[in-house]
Amino acid sequence: MFHKAIILSLGIFALTGCDAQKKAKATPKTSEMTTNTTPDQKNGIVYLNQGENKFLKEFQMNVTFKGISEDSRCPEGVNCIWAGAALAQVEVMGISTRPMVLNLASMDYPNRNYRQSADFNGYTITLQEVNPYPKADGGTTALNGKYKIGISIKKAGKTSDSTTQ
């Protein structure tokens, strides 16, 4: 008799646990990917925080801002010989393509192989902004993880200005 009571109570606990799992699965979870770029998109520029991933529905493309691999921009309040450049690593992937990491620079400088734009899957992706700007007291090490970039995406071959040739 004692064994039947134990088995019955274990069965009730098991069924209660299954019911709780079904309710947890039924609750809709919010997706970590952003599918609507309207709040973060101004003047055709898509903004991404460091480590952020967005699916851009209008371009059928997933974009991830991996980080800044180099930031040699002249800090605020310092006189420099060269203005310097920031090099952002942006991973892009179309719905039927493999991921590709683009190294986009804040300025074109062919001697160091820096390009502000790159072509991917019929689109030209251009780095428009890199924020924040380094300061003299903290340098770029204080900015790790705090970077935010702005990129523009246009159909390849359509140039609206002379900088993306």
| Per-residue pLDDT at 31 | 36
Q: What is the pLDDT of residues 97-144, one digit of tens each?
A: 999 999 999 999 888 889 999 999 999 999 999 988 887 776 666 567
* Among 22-31, 92-101, 133-142, the least confident range: 22-31
Neighbours of 128 (CB within 10 A): 16
| Per-residue pLDDT at 44 | 82
CB within 8 A of 35, min separation 6: which ones? 54, 55, 57
Beta strands 100-105; 117-120: pairing state: unpaired
Domain residue spans of the chain: 41-155
| Global pTM exceeds 0.85 | no
| Per-residue pLDDT at 79 | 86
| Per-residue pLDDT at 163 | 46
Q: What is the pLDDT of residues 71-90, one digit of tens each?
A: 888 888 888 888 889 999 99
Stronger pLDDT, 34 or 116, i.e. the higher one: 116
CA distance 40 to 82: 32
* Among 6-10, 32-36, 125-129, the least confident range: 32-36
| Per-residue pLDDT at 32 | 41
Strand segments, DSSP code E, in 7-108 are 41-42, 45-49, 53-56, 61-71, 86-94, 100-105
Read off the pLDDT of each residue in 11-29 and give the average, rounded to a whole number: 53
| Per-residue pLDDT at 144 | 74
Most confident range, picked from 17-31, 107-121, 142-156: 107-121
| Per-residue pLDDT at 13 | 61
Most confident range, picked from 9-13, 56-60, 139-143: 56-60
